[in-house]
Amino acid sequence: MYKLVALDMDGTLLTSNKTISPRTKQAIQAAREQGVVVVLASGRPVDGMVRYLDELGMTSDQDYVLSYNASLVQRIASKEVIRKQILTGLDAKNIANLARELGCHVHAFSSEHGLITPADNYYTQHEAKINQISTTVMDFSELADDDEIIKVMLIDEPEVLSAAIAQLPAELYEQYTIVQSAPFFLEIMNPKSNKGTGVAMLAEHLGLDASQVICMGDAGNDSHMLEYAGLGVAMGNATDDVKALANHITASNDEDGVALVIEEFILNK
């Protein structure tokens, strides 16, 4: 029996207009009433998730959230951090220098400064808008080597970012977890940090194993948790590589794909 459901947000839980459908909301509530733990696992910062957690009523200290691709795993009410795997200012500086050489923009999430970028750009503003946070323009050389950096992202027009990705040195993939969450976002994190390790840690914390876990997603940053889960579900709108990893493919995020899975595998409808 499944006891934990981990949901990606953008392209999975949320429709294309960034809302949660009534059917999906009802299915999640019904699963929670049966004692199933439902968590949001997103590349977003917690600030960009709060309004959806509120909408779903997932705000108690028995509720958890996985933010920044599970670089942080926290209790929601107390904000107690139960897992943190992050980067440093030195990492951010090195990655920013590489981004400059590759001709693409970069931004990062700093514990002290919030969302930071060396040069204001469309995609940093997009990040700020969807998460309802502000942006600080600062040269990454101003960061201390030991500053807490949660993650760094290469960001740009899809064709520019694709060209940059093609030139990334192989050793970068040995130093960091690198996942693409959108055609214009490449996320670089602590090598121990990904949604799979985050969900696995939470499952262990709850006394569960992988066979009791459902994970649903649509993009490359969801791949680790789909591989981990007893039931890894790709959305109908997922990328082909994510679909290839999945045990099950559901309808798209605009067709109540999340609700359909919960209804079939948990509510037995």
* Domain harbouring 102, CATH code: 3.30.1240.10
Same domain, 77 and 202: yes
- Assess whether 224 and 253 both reside in one domain: yes
For 56, half-sphere exposure in the C-beta direction (CA atoms, 13 angstrom radius) is: 33
Q: Which of 8, 63, 156, 222 is catalytic?
A: 8
pLDDT of 269 above 90: no
pLDDT at 194: 96
Q: 195, 225 in Cβ contact below 8 A?
A: yes
**One domain, residues 111 and 180:** yes
What are the backbone dihedrals phi and psi of residue 174, each rounded to the nearest 5 degrees, phi first? -85, -25
Q: Which helix (H) or strand (E) holds 89?
A: helix 89-102
**209 and 169 part of one domain:** no
Buried b (16+ CB within 10 A) or exposed e, 132-159: eeebeeeebeebeeebbbbbbbbbbeee
Q: Residue 64 pLDDT more than 80?
A: yes
Tell me the three state secondary structure of residue 46: helix
* Same domain, yes or no: 23 and 55: yes
Which residue in 6, 7, 58 sits closest to 33, CA to CA?
Answer: 58
Instruction: Give the pLDDT mean for 38-67.
Output: 96
Share of the chain above pLDDT 70, in %: 100
H helices of 113-206, in order, are 122-131, 158-166, 170-175, 195-205
Strand partners, 219: none
Alpha-carbon distance values, 168 to 103, 109, 142, 196, 254 (Å): 12, 21, 24, 23, 34
From CA 117, how far away is CA 124, in angstroms rounded? 7
- Residue 216 has what pLDDT? 98
Half-sphere exposure of 211 (CA within 13 A, CB side): 1
Tell which of 189, 220, 235 closes a domain. 189
pLDDT over 80 (residue 13) = yes
Q: Are residues 98 and 123 in the same domain?
A: yes
The reply to whether 198 and 185 lie within a common domain is: no
Count of beta carbons in the 10 Å neighbourhood of residue 91: 23
Looking at the 3D structure of the chain, how many domains does it have?
A: 2
Same domain, 35 and 56: yes
Q: Does 206 share its domain with 220?
A: yes
Condensed to tens digits (0 to 9), the pLDDT of residues 234-248 reads 999 999 999 999 999
Q: CATH number of the domain that 211 lies in?
A: 3.40.50.1000
d(CA 262, CA 269): 9
Q: How confident is the model at residue 8, as a pLDDT?
A: 98
8 is catalytic: yes
Residues 6+ apart with CB under 8 A from 155: 104, 105, 106, 107, 121, 123, 124, 127, 161, 184, 185, 186
Domain's final residue, options 189, 219, 241: 189
pLDDT in tens, 69-120: 999 999 999 999 999 999 999 999 999 999 999 999 999 999 999 999 999 9
Host domain of residue 35? 4-84+193-265
Average pLDDT over the chain, rounded to whole?
Answer: 97
Please give the Cα distance from 9 to 11 (Å, whole number): 6
**This prediction's pTM:** 0.92
Give the residue with greater pLDDT, 61 vs 71. Answer: 71
The pLDDT of residue 61 is above 90: no
Q: Tell me the C-alpha distance between 77 and 62, whole Å.
A: 8
Which pLDDT tens digit goes with each residue over 186-216?
999 999 999 999 999 999 999 999 999 999 9
Residue of 101, 64, 99, 57 lying closest to 79 (CA atoms): 64
Are 30 and 42 part of one and the same domain?
A: yes
- Domain end call among 143, 172, 189: 189
Same domain, 133 and 200: no
* Mean pLDDT of the 26-31 span: 98
Are 100 and 156 found together in one domain? yes
Under 8 Å between Cβ of 214 and 5: yes
Confidence class of residue 12 from pLDDT cuts 50, 70 and 90? Answer: very high
Percent of the chain with pLDDT over 90: 99
